[in-house]
Structure 1
Amino acid sequence: MSDDLLKQLRGYGLATVEIHYYMPDHPSLLQLFLWQHYDIAPHFPELNRFLDHWRREIEAVLHSIRVAHRHLIGPTEWRAVDGIITIQ
């Protein structure tokens, strides 16, 4: 099994994080960094580790952060279809 599937089975979902930041030498230029990783909502331990690393190691100043999270494994939806599909 892949590591990604094992994480999903343990409750992780896909987090997409949009980070707006600017460099100290260009404070009027707002830049965007997009990051995707498997994480657990609502505490987001992986995101918090990443942001701690950002604050320690990267000179860019954080402006704002937006997070979208989706569990990829869950109950499926189905609907009845009237008709027969023939496959040869």
Structure 2
Amino acid sequence: MQMSETEMMLKGYGLTTAELYYHMPDFPHVLNSFVWQDYDLAPDHDKLLGFISFWHDEIEGPLHSVRFSHRKMISPGEWRNVVGEFTYH
């Protein structure tokens, strides 16, 4: 059974976004880009590395470079001490 997105976030998964630059198979001097997103665990990034491995094995366009960012969607909230309240009608 696959976990829901909420369960994944509660278990520490974060949204990983990767931008892959690759050479076009028919025009090797032309670079193109592809954006990939999935929930993954830092710092290992097993899903991202699995996708890069899949690309290397199955896709004709060789990779030039990969840029990625990772962000946890659930994080500790900000706490502020409120000393007063104004009511406006």
**Structure 2: gaps (5+ residues):** none
Report what 2:78 is aligned to. 77
TM-score (norm 2): 0.84
Equivalent pairs counted in the alignment come to 87
**For residue 5 of structure 2, what is the amino acid of its counterpart?**
D
Pairing of 1:1-88 with structure 2 (within 5 A): 3-81=4-82, 83-86=84-87
**What do residues 36-75 of structure 1 show as CA deviations (whole Å, max 9, x unaligned)?**
1100111100011111111111101100001100011110
Identity rate, percent:
46
Higher-strand-fraction structure: 1
SS in 2 for 1:28: coil
Report the secondary structure of 2:28's partner residue. Answer: strand
Letter in 2 for 1:61: P
- SS of the residue corresponding to residue 20 of structure 1 reads strand
Amino acid across the alignment from 1:84: E
Query: Would the alpha carbon gap of residues 85 and 4 (structure 1) be closer, same or farther in structure 2, given more than 3 Å must change?
Result: farther
5+ residue gaps in structure 1?
none
SS for the counterpart of 1:64 is strand
Aligned mates of 1:41, 1:87 — CA distance in 2: 45
Give the superposed CA RMSD: 1.9
Give the alignment's TM-score, normalised by structure 1: 0.85
